[in-house]
Amino acid sequence: MSETSGQDQPEMAVPRDWPDLAGRLMQGTDGRWHRLGVRVYFEDTDFSGLVYHASYVRWCERGRSDFLRLVGSEHKTLIEGAGGREPAAFVVRRMTLEFLKPSRIDDVLEVETRVKAMTAATLVLAQSIVRAGETIFEADVTVVLVTMSGRVLSLSAALKSALGGR
């Protein structure tokens, strides 16, 4: 039994040379951004064999979560109130979605996430889903950092800096 898991089965460690589980941070002329690979599975499609619209929203959520994780702002840490801060979470305030082209089972897609705008407590993220260099979906997503009691909370200076803000 593992000392840390408390279960009877052995833990499976993720090798340190496997960095792509959470995607990759990229650096471009317009700042830091994130890329996450996704494969379309049967569960992502509807009766027509095309990707169900909600799957795109779910993949974008993964892209946003992993982008924040890689710049040092994990959801779990926010919710636990680490660093003496009040427990908080990012909540979606607004989404604008554009479905440009369909996708099908076994397609390999990339979810790209970029910071479009940032205020004291809000991030506007431009997200796109790309297949073989062609954009098939776009979203602008506004998220706000709020305490567990619902009060708006300012983004930390460290997070702003990691995302390219001041």
Q: Report phi then psi at 86, rounded to 5.
A: -65, 140
Q: Which residues are catalytic?
A: 46
Pairing of strands 88-99, 134-147: antiparallel
Question: In this structure, are residues 113 and 63 in contact, taking their beta carbons and an 8 Å threshold?
Answer: yes
Q: How far apart are CA 61 and CA 90, in angstroms?
A: 11
| Pair of tokens at residue 119 | 């205020």
Length of the chain: 166
Q: Report phi then psi at 60, rounded to 5.
A: -65, -40
